[in-house]
Amino acid sequence: MVVKNVLKLYRRMQNKFSNFRKEFEEEIGSEEINKDVFNELRMEELKEEDKSNNND
């Protein structure tokens, strides 16, 4: 019985944390930040490739 209650509590806490994280990420726009960072890194890679191609 104790184990069952502990598991229920654990699941509730897990769900609350998951919901909190989701709301927080939506609030700060983390998806947009991730996309921007990815795009910036990709642009840097392309510039480096272009530089190396021009040096050949």
pLDDT per residue as tens digits for the range 23-43 = 999 999 998 999 999 999 999
List phi, psi (to 5°) of 43: -65, -40
Residue 11, pLDDT above cutoff 90: yes
Record the tokens describing residue 42, joined without a space. 């990709």
Per-residue model confidence (pLDDT) at position 53: 87
Per-residue model confidence (pLDDT) at position 12: 98
Delimit the domains of the chain by residue range: 2-55
Reported as a pLDDT band with limits 50, 70 and 90, residue 52 is confident
Q: How high does pLDDT run on average in the chain?
A: 93
Rounded Cα–Cα distance for residues 32 and 1 (Å): 45
